[in-house]
Amino acid sequence: MTKEKLAKSIEYTLLKPTATGAMIAALCEEARQQRFACVAVNLCWVPLCAELLKGSGVSVCTGIGFPLGTTATAIKVEETRLAIAQGANEVDVVINIGKAKEGDWKYVQDELAAIAAVAKPVAEKSATAKPAGMKSVAARPAATLKVILETCYLTDDEKVAVCKAALACGADYVKTSTGFGTAGATVDDVRLMRATVGSSMKVKASGGIKTLDDALALLDAGATRLGTSSGVSIMEEFERRAAK
For the chain, which ranges sit under pLDDT 50?
A: 123-129, 131-132, 134-138
Q: Which of 76, 146, 202, 204 is catalytic?
A: 204
Residue at 130 is within a domain: no
Q: Would you state the pLDDT for residue 136?
A: 41
Q: Cβ contacts of residue 86 below 8 Å, gap of 6+?
A: 43, 46, 47, 50
In a domain, 131, yes or no: no
135 within a domain of the structure (yes/no): no
Task: Assess if residue 132 is contained within a domain.
Answer: no
Question: What pLDDT is recorded for position 70?
Answer: 97
The catalytic position among 76, 159, 175, 202 is 175
The DSSP output letter for 207 is S
- In the 8-state DSSP scheme, what is residue 120? S
CATH of the domain at 94: 3.20.20.70
Amino acid occupying residue 157: D
pLDDT computed for residue 126 by the predictor: 40
| pLDDT for 244 | 87
Tens digits of per-residue pLDDT, 73-108? 999 999 999 999 999 999 999 999 999 999 999 999
Whether 92 is catalytic? yes
Residue 68 within a domain: yes
Question: Which listed residue (92, 172, 189, 214) is catalytic?
Answer: 92
Give the pLDDT score at 180. Answer: 96
Contact, 31 vs 39, CB < 8 A? yes
Instruction: Report the 10 Å Cβ neighbour count for 244.
Output: 4
Active site residue 204: yes
**Would you give the distance in Å from CA 208 to the centre of its chain?**
16
Domain count, the chain: 1
Residue 127, in any domain of the structure: no
Q: Does 136 reside within a domain? A: no
pLDDT at 168: 96
Domain region containing 65: 3-121+141-243
**210 among known catalytic residues:** no
pTM of the model: 0.91
